[in-house]
Chain A
Amino acid sequence: DTGVSQDPRHKITKRGQNVTFRCDPISEHNRLYWYRQTLGQGPEFLTYFQNEAQLEKSRLLSDRFSAERPKGSFSTLEIQRTEQGDSAMYLCAARLAANTGELFFGEGSRLTVL
């Protein structure tokens, strides 16, 4: 158990609907990351937070995607107007140290867009 929990674990939705995923990291891990992974690919960086500040966002992330970490603890990732291409595993990871610490992953939220 890494201490990083994600909810929901699975989400099936129809194209055009909005979905939101939540990540709860360990309280000491002030750095939080979101990744997306599709079959046969490595996790693709989406964004990361240091405390409540979103410090970087992937250029690949369209404006339908938004992430927040309002109090520097849990984080949410929202996808608006979902498309079939959004179907993937969304992974949250937390990190303690600034430049040497490992990433601790949650079990992921699997999204299927019909």
Chain B
Amino acid sequence: RKEVEQDPGPFNVPEGATVAFNCTYSNSASQSFFWYRQDCRKEPKLLMSVYSSGNEDGRFTAQLNRASQYISLLIRDSKLSDSATYLCVAPGDTGFQKLVFGTGTRLLVSP
């Protein structure tokens, strides 16, 4: 099983839509998780941290499901500027120091 797994997409949605991404992780002892956003040919940038209580920031909500070992990212009222690749990050199997990225989920928001 891959340490971190995501659906690569692309997800094509109209402006204003709500879209959700899931990401599964293999290390059941993991404590902290992150969602990063990456624009084309740019470096990844932190979007949100995800802790046991979840996290909400404006139109973005991240949730953690420990029982099923997945985290989710919900984007409400999608904007054209949300078009990007969203990367899920979790500790690897060897411990919390090694942060492993998923392949990323590509989102395309159209007018």
Minimal Cβ-Cβ distance residue in B for A4: B43
In the A-B complex, the 7 residue pairs with the smallest Cβ-Cβ separation, listed nearest first, are A42-B101, A105-B43, A99-B96, A102-B46, A43-B101, A42-B103, A42-B104
Min CB gap A72→B, angstroms: 16
Task: From the candidates A41, A45, A104, A105, name the one contacting B100 in the complex (CB within 8 A).
Answer: A45
Q: How many residues of A contact B (CB 8 A)?
A: 25
Task: From the candidates B91, B96, B97, name the one contacting A50 in the complex (CB within 8 A).
Answer: B97
Instruction: Tell me if A56 and B94 are in contact (CB < 8 A).
Output: yes
**Chain B CB within 8 A of A91 CB:** yes
Instruction: Tell me if B92 and A45 are in contact (CB < 8 A).
Output: yes
In the complex where A106-B43, A107-B43 touch, is A56 in contact with B97 (Cβ < 8 A)?
yes
- Which B residues between 1 and 45 are near A, CB-CB below 8 angstroms? 4, 6, 8, 31-32, 34, 36, 42-45
Interface of A is mostly: strand
**Chain B CB within 8 A of A33 CB:** yes
Task: From the candidates A42, A45, A105, name the one contacting B98 in the complex (CB within 8 A).
Answer: A45
Q: How far apart are the CA atoms of A60 and B44 in the complex, in Å?
A: 22
Q: How far apart are the CA atoms of A31 and B46 in the complex, in Å?
A: 17
Minimal Cβ-Cβ distance residue in A for B89: A103
Minimal Cβ-Cβ distance residue in B for A92: B43
Interface residues in chain B, defined as those with a beta carbon under 8 Å from any beta carbon in chain A: 4, 6, 8, 31-32, 34, 36, 42-46, 49, 87, 89, 91-92, 94, 96-104
Chain A residues near B44: list those with CB within 8 A. Answer: 43, 91, 103, 105
Minimal Cβ-Cβ distance residue in B for A110: B41
Instruction: Tell me if B32 and A100 are in contact (CB < 8 A).
Output: yes
Instruction: Tell me if B43 and A44 are in contact (CB < 8 A).
Output: no
18 additional contacts (CB under 8 A) given A31-B97, A100-B49, A106-B43 = A42-B4, A42-B103, A44-B101, A45-B99, A45-B100, A48-B97, A48-B98, A50-B97, A56-B97, A56-B98, A98-B97, A100-B31, A100-B32, A102-B34, A102-B46, A102-B49, A103-B36, A103-B46
